[in-house]
Homo-oligomer: A and B are copies of this chain.
C-alpha cells in the first residue's frame, strides 16, 4: 500500500468555496490532520480517522502526518484558507527537511484554497487590484522590528497591504503599534478594511480610515486590508465598495 500526503486548503469557511480538487482528496483520505476547528469542518465517515491538534502545534502535527503517510495511509493535512499562506504547507516542509530521509520520497501534493485575503478582498470589492503585500503581524515566529521594518517599506512602496493574525489575546499591543506606524507613514484618510470570518455565520465587515481605526476592531479571525494611496471607496446603498484602480500615475 502506497501512502500519500496532501496539504489542502479548505477556504475561509463556506463549503461553497472549497474546490472540487480538495473535496475529492477529502473523500479519498484515510486520515485528516489539522487544527481542531478545521478538522471539525470535515464530516465523520467510515474509514476516516480525524486527528485534531491544538493551535501552535504545527511541527508535531506535520511530523505525525508524514509518519502516517510513510506507513501507507492517505493523509490530508487541512488548513483554513490556502495552505501556502501562513498555514500548514511550510510547516510540513520544515518537518520533511528535519525528519526521516525516507519520507523525502513520499508522494506529496499541495492543493490551493481560497485564502482569507482573497475572500475578504472579494467581499468589499477589489482593494488588492494593484500591487500589494501580505504580512503576518504575529511576532511569535519573527522579531517585532522586522515587522515594523516591513510595514515602513511597504508604505514607502505604496503597496496595498493585507494583514494576517493582526491581534490575539496574548499579544494585544502589536496591532496598536501597527496602526501607529501606518498613521505615521500614510495619510490619515487611508482606507482600512476589517473583514472578520468572511463566508461564515460570524462574518462582519467594516470599512473605515486610519484616522478612525482602533485596535479592538481586529482579532485573530480578522483579515485587515489597508489600501494604497490610490484606493477608493464607492459609497452605495448598503455596503460601500472598496477598490484600487489598475493604473498608477
Per-position binary interface string of chain A over residues 72-115, scored 1 when its CB falls under 8 Å from any chain B CB and 0 otherwise:
00000000001111110111011011000000110010111111
**Chain B positions within 8 Å of A142 at CB level:** 130, 247-249
Please pick, from B104, B135, B159, the residue contacting A236 in the complex, using a CB distance under 8 A: B104
Of B17, B135, B141, B236, which is within 8 A of A19 by CB? B17
Determine chain A's interface SS by DSSP, over half rule: mixed
Contact A114 B19 (CB under 8 A): yes
A207 at interface, CB cutoff 8 A: no
* A234 part of interface (Cβ distance < 8 Å): yes
Verify B128–A84 contact, CB threshold 8 A.
yes
Q: Indicate whether A43 reaches chain B with its CB closer than 8 angstroms.
A: no
Shortest Cβ gap from A28 to chain B (Å)? 13
* 0/1 string, A119-148, CB within 8 A of B gives 1: 101110111111111111000011100100
| Among listed A30-38, A170-178, A238-246, interface-contacting one | A238-246
Residue pairs across A and B with Cβ atoms less than 8 A apart, 19 shown, are A15-B20, A82-B121, A83-B122, A83-B126, A84-B126, A84-B128, A89-B129, A90-B245, A97-B234, A104-B236, A110-B122, A110-B123, A110-B126, A111-B122, A112-B114, A112-B119, A141-B246, A153-B153, A153-B157
